[in-house]
Every structure is written in C-alpha cells, then in structure tokens.
Chains A and B, each alone.
Chain A
Amino acid sequence: MLDDLLPMNLVGAANKLGVSPFEVMRLLVASDGVPDNLHFTGDQVARLRQIGQIEDSWWEGVDLPEDANPLRQRVRAALQLLIDRGHVADSVTRMDNVWRGLTEEDCGLVNDALLALVDEGHLNQISRPNGTMISVNPASSDTIQQLASGAADTPGLSELYEG
C-alpha cells in the first residue's frame, strides 16, 4: 500500500515524462535543478517537461495510411505528423516527440528513418542542452510531403525498408 505514497524517484519521473533517466539527468543539469535525493514532485516533473519541450504522444487516434509495407506505413505517418504540426525550419520539436507512445520496435524504426533523412539533408537536426531537436529542411518540404503521401522514397528510406 505504501508504494502509492512513496516519493517519485528518478525512474518514476522518467516514466512520467516518457524519456530515459539519463535524459532526465540531462534536463536537470541543464536547468541547474538536480534534487539532492533524486526525488521529484509533480511540479518539478512539469518543469522538466517544459524545459525539455517534451510533448505527450502524437499518436493517439492517428490512422495509419494504407501501405503494403508496414515499416513505410509508420514512417509516412510520422512524417505527416511532423508536417501537420508545422515543424519546418526554426519551428523545431524534440526528436523523441515524434515517436513517443509507439512500441519500442516502432520507436527504433522512426528514429532510424529520421536519422536517414537527416543524413540526406531533408531534415535538420539540432543538438541543444535540453535535447536533440528536429525540423523539416524548408528546401525539402515538397520531398517530405511526397514521402508522407507515399509518392516517393529516398535511398536511405528504401534501404531501411529492405532491412
């Protein structure tokens, strides 16, 4: 019974935020707010969420596009979410916002897809003390839209889908 009344620990805060304990430590250091005993209040977690620009899962109620390839289906949906939320150029979002809420396997897939598109210059990746951010490269807006619609693939994504 006491379990529900115990102070929130580091893993509890990480679960609440949907990021790893190491990422919580990163945000704590970035904000000069490491609690001595690594116990957290709800307010502290809310502050970390704000500092880290951590958003709730984007995937609630999302309908996946029709696609014969289940990998491409998820990546297309992820890119569409990125477009729908307007994350182009300076309007960045945390990279893990894109996959938070998915299964571990799908998180890995979307992560790999985003990195492939960063390598190909279609997405911008920006490392900041409060997290790794991402946005669509304005010069590649049309390409990303085509990828999301299923009208095209890039060499990096094709390689990813072929596994």
Chain B
Amino acid sequence: MTTDAPAHTLAEALGEVAKWKADEETRQNAELVEVDQEVQSLESAVANLNQQLEALAKFREELLAKSELLGSEEVQRSYAAIFTTLSSQTQAVLQRTAQVNIANGERAAAVEAALSSGEVAPLLEEYSQFKTAVEPTLSALPESYRTVMLKHHHDLTEQLKSHVNEAMSSPADLDVDDLTIEIVFAIDAPEDKPELLIVVIPVSEESAAEWASRDEDLQTLVSARVVQALYATIKESGPAGAEAVSGGHQGMLAVEVDILGAADDFGDKFIAAIEEVDKASPELNAAGISIEGRQVSVDFLLPPEDHTEGE
C-alpha cells in the first residue's frame, strides 16, 4: 500500500478523490464483467444439466414402461416355451407309440406261433375250426345242439384265454432310450384357495376324444395313468366327486377339474401321485416312458388372447 503525499491544495485533494473514484469504477466494472461472464457460464451449464435431467427422466419413464411390460412378456414367452416343449414331447410320445405298436404286434405273432406249435396247439386248432366252419352254421342247428356247442366253445375259449393272458400279462419290453415327459399343470386360486386345475398331457387330443373308435395305444395309457394320479389326489385332497373334463389345446390333451374345496397342497400331492403312478405302471416302464408332474403359474397355460381380454 502506498501512501500519497498530502495535497497542497483543495483542488489537488478533490482531484485525487476523483481519480480514486475513476479507478474504482474501472476495477468494479471489470469485476462486473467477470461476474456476468461467470453467471452466463453457470446459466449455460444449468441449462445443459436441465436438458440432461429431462432426457434421463424420459429414459426412466421408458424403462418403467418396459418394466411394466416385462410381466406380460414373461407370460407370453413362458406360454410359448411350455407349448413348444410339450409339442416336442408329444411328437416323441407318438414315435414311441409306433415302436410299442410294432413290438406288441410282433409279440402277439410270437405268442400265436408258440400256441400253434405247443401243447395247446390242438385247442387252438379246434378254436379256429369253430370260428371258421362251425360258428357260421350255428343258427341252422337245433337249439339243444347249439347250446352244447356254444358251452364247449366257451370252455375252450376260456382255456385259451388263460394261456394268452399268461403270455401277455406283462407288456412287451422295448430296447429304447428313456423318455421323460412332463405333465404340466396349473391351479387357479384367485382367492388363495384352489378353484380350478388345468392339466396338459403331451399326447394327441384325439387319443382321448376319439377313444371309442381307436385302438388302445401308449397315448391312451399315458393319459389314463395321469388321470389315475389325478383321481388318487382328489380322493386324498378333495373335493369329493370332482370330475375330470377333457378337451384339447394346441392339439394336445387338456384336462380341467373344478377343485373348489381341495386342500391347499393339492399341487404337491398331485406331483407325488404322478411319481407314484409312474413307478407302478409296467406298460410305461416297458416303453421306456417316465411321467413327471410340473406345476406352473396358471397364466402360463392360458393363450395370449386370454391375457389381453383380462387386461
């Protein structure tokens, strides 16, 4: 800091004051310019940050919207995944069914050949003669003769059946890889209590719908065993008298049962019953087939249009 010499005159003194003022004004103006520039710079930065905030807020909204759709997307993808898998398993069952049919045909032929050449051959020959030569003429015979012949034929048939039953009491074994198929089911419990059971079995819908006009095959037996497990579960967990109603979905067999009043652990019991039936089904074991219960969310078994309707 410099110390000016005292003014000699008033004019000099006031002049110094004026000079001080002018210097101060110059310095303050310069500072104002700097502050204004800083303010402008900060305002620009704030505007930029605001833009970024707006962009982030918009992005966040988009993420939230996507997150909300995630649930329905999962349902649609699960539905597709389940039915694609079950469809594939159905094809595998159809192939296995064809193999079983061939094996059963071969075994029946072998049994017939064995009977034809064994100790029961005379019985089989007599049976054959009756079917081809006697039966067509029965109506022309007097009733007393007819009764005697029919009684004899009945006894003969029972003897032969006994032999055939013995030879065919167990199913034909297949030398094939094990095939595990999944019995997918869901329990609708809108009020936290089981109300409706939906089961999808990977066999063709026709195997059940057209049972009366079809020969029994592996598909018939797979679905029958699942229904056995189902009724065993109903017997244990209720509701008494519940009835399985069958139909089709995507060409596969679907079974629905009203289970209002069933125990809360119906699903677990059904899985256990399927496991038990699987172990005790010689025809499935011989065909190399295993069945396993798999519970999924009820939404996963409903077609996509049903979800749309519900929204």
Q: Taking beta carbons and an 8 Å cutoff, which residues of A are in contact with B?
A: 1-2, 4-7, 9-12, 14-15, 20-22, 24-26, 28-30, 34, 36-39, 126-129, 132
Contact = CB atoms under 8 A, between A and B. Distances in A.
B20 interface: no
Contacts of B242: 127
B32 interface: no
B2 interface: no
Given A25-B224, A25-B231, A129-B235, A10 B241 contact: no
Contact of B131 (A1, A25, A36, A127): A1
A9 B121 CA distance: 25
Contacts of B215: 11
24 contacts: A1-B112, A1-B128, A2-B108, A2-B112, A5-B164, A7-B164, A7-B168, A10-B221, A11-B220, A20-B208, A21-B220, A21-B224, A22-B208, A22-B246, A29-B235, A34-B228, A36-B282, A37-B283, A38-B224, A127-B240, A129-B240, A129-B241, A132-B241, A132-B243
Interface in B214-256: 214-216, 220-221, 223-224, 227-228, 231-232, 234-235, 239-244, 246
B280 interface: yes
Contacts of A28: 228
Contacts of A126: 241
B34 to A, nearest CB: 89
Given A2-B111, A14-B212, A129-B235, 16 more contacts: A4-B131, A7-B168, A9-B216, A10-B224, A11-B215, A21-B224, A22-B208, A22-B223, A25-B224, A26-B244, A37-B282, A37-B283, A38-B283, A39-B165, A129-B234, A132-B241
Query: Interface centre among B224, B240, B282, by most A CB within 10 Å?
Result: B224
A104 to B, nearest CB: 8
B302 interface: no
Contacts of B235: 29-30, 129
A129 to B, nearest CB: 6
Contacts of B223: 21-22
Interface residues of B, number: 41
B160 interface: yes
B136 to A, nearest CB: 15
Contacts of B231: 25-26, 29-30
Given A28-B228, A29-B231, A7 B240 contact: no
Contacts of B128: 1
Contact of A11 (B164, B170, B211): B211
Contacts of A1: 112, 127-128, 131
B161 interface: yes
Nearest to A132: B243
Contacts of B295: none
Interface string B156-193: 01001100110011110000000000000000000000
A39 B127 CA distance: 23
B258 to A, nearest CB: 9
A97 to B, nearest CB: 15
A9 B214 CA distance: 13
B283 A25 contact: no
